[in-house]
Amino acid sequence: LSIGVPTESQVRSGERRVAITPQNAAVLLKKGFKEVLVEHGAGFQAQFPAHDYEEAGATLVNATRVWTDSNIVLKIRPPRLRATTLSPNNFISGFREGGVIISMLQPNSDRYKNVIDTYQSKGLTSFAMDMIPRITRAQSFDVLSSMANIAGYKAVLEASNEFGRFITGQTTAAGKVPPCRVLIIGAGVAGLSAIATARRMGAIVKCFDTRPATKEQVQSLGAEFVEVTDVKEDGSGGGGYAKVMSQAFHDAELRLFADLCKDTDILITTALIPGRPAPRLITEEMVASMKPGSVVVDLAAENGGNCEPTVPGQLIHHKGVTVIGYTDLPSRLPTQSSTLYSNNIT
């Protein structure tokens, strides 16, 4: 069987990742796949040059051949169906019946419905990397975790780039510098990664989550776990995920955040509930109450955002506070995210 690796479409998404690294192309060939056909330039944005793929034994081809000559196509995002002036071919039309596409797919949302309909009409099989069960046995395939880990890390770096002070506290001859105060909402994979990164940079970190099970994880990373004290409710839903909270708890949570925001320099929100829009937890007033120069990074931006002022995909300024709603954080660390995604998919 032959494996194909197309270049990710840059149109709209600005996607910089590639589904397979040269190192893993060699692994697949060693495992007995006949050929790994990599489109010219596929790894370019992720700093994997063409000659590294060739040295690994892969074959560099044009986009048309990736689709016509492969049995299995590996991608990050589902393929584009519409031809554009930049990309005049609808490559999937050349893919053989019975072919297999492995990518992220979000089959539970309507986002790629037309892609799934096309797969069905052409008799293709697709594996959705984002639907693999999040159980211990399947951890090595878990792209949601590997990408969330990167998003949490990169959120702290993006925030620190916009923040006008050190993250760590210092006592210097030129004056005493207080440490940056970071608040993280949601202690899933991304939130825990953000805690670890901010702590390594020397910040004082607080974190809140509706699932009590996260308390020990937060504390083990050196952050303070903050809790709602006036309403008692366990936010654990099925499969380790969160459930929708009662209105009373939601109101109490918002009172807690209103209090904490005034004393927070960097706020990173990661709260999600599977299959639902992201809970609205940070109001415009809370953002406005933060000190000038503070930074918010809303990792839930793609699902509607946890913060009122968030604009998905953009960095904006709201009453002296920078609000980052980037939806492509893993792609902003393209070498690392390609490497981990490639390991997952291999």
Work out how close the CB of 181 gets to ligand NAD at its nearest, in angstroms, rounded to a whole number.
18
Stretch that binds ligand NAD, among 55-63, 101-109, 132-140, 154-162 (CB under 6 A): 132-140
341 is catalytic: no
Neighbouring C-beta atoms of residue 12, cutoff 10 Å: 9
Q: Measured between alpha carbons, how far is 19 from 11 in angstroms, rounded to an integer?
A: 17
Q: Which of 80, 142, 181, 294 is the catalytic position? A: 142
Binder of ligand NAD out of 7, 24, 70, 210 (CB under 6 A): 210
Stretch that binds ligand NAD, among 22-30, 52-60, 195-203, 272-280 (CB under 6 A): 272-280
112 is catalytic: no
Output the CA–CA distances (angstroms, integers) from residue 199 to 168, 239, 261, in the order listed.
9, 28, 19
Instruction: Specify the residue, 206 or 211, whose C-beta has the smaller distance to ligand NAD.
Output: 211
Which structure tokens are listed for 303? 């699902």
- Do 27 and 346 contact (CB within 8 A), yes or no? yes
Instruction: Specify the residue, 112 or 249, whose C-beta has the smaller distance to ligand NAD.
Output: 249
Binding track, positions 142-181, relative to ligand NAD; x by CB under 6 A? x-xx--x---------------------------------
Instruction: Specify the residue, 15 or 253, whose C-beta has the smaller distance to ligand NAD.
Output: 253
Q: Measured between alpha carbons, how far is 274 from 247 in angstroms, rounded to an integer?
A: 18
Interaction of residue 209 with ligand NAD, rule CB under 6 A? yes
Reduced to 3 states (helix: H, G, I; strand: E, B; else coil), residue 193 is helix
Residue type, 117: D
| Structure letter (DSSP) for residue 301 | G
Provide Rg for the chain, Cα atoms: 22
Q: Which of 65, 134, 199, 200 is the catalytic position? A: 134
Q: Measured between alpha carbons, how far is 312 from 299 in angstroms, rounded to an integer?
A: 9
Question: Residues binding ligand NAD: what is the number (CB under 6 A)?
Answer: 33
Instruction: Specify the residue, 212 or 293, whose C-beta has the smaller distance to ligand NAD.
Output: 212
Task: Pick the closest to residue 198 from 220, 181, 185 (CA basis).
Answer: 181
120 is catalytic: no
Output the CA–CA distances (angstroms, integers) from residue 155 to 88, 90, 184, 290, 308, in the order listed.
35, 35, 11, 18, 18
Which structure tokens are listed for 314? 């953009």
Work out how close the CB of 271 gets to ligand NAD at its nearest, in angstroms, rounded to a whole number.
4
Binder of ligand NAD out of 211, 256, 301, 345 (CB under 6 A): 211
Residue type, 301: A
Site for ligand NAD in 217-246 (CB under 6 A): 235, 240-242, 245
Q: Which of 139, 170, 219, 220 is the catalytic position? A: 139
What is the per-residue DSSP string for 104-123? ---TTSSTTHHHHHHHHHHT
Interaction of residue 140 with ligand NAD, rule CB under 6 A? no
134 is catalytic: yes
Contacting residues toward ligand NAD, per CB under 6 A: 134-136, 139, 142, 144-145, 148, 185-191, 208-211, 214, 235, 240-242, 245, 253, 270-274, 279, 281
Catalytically annotated residues: 134, 139, 142, 145, 241
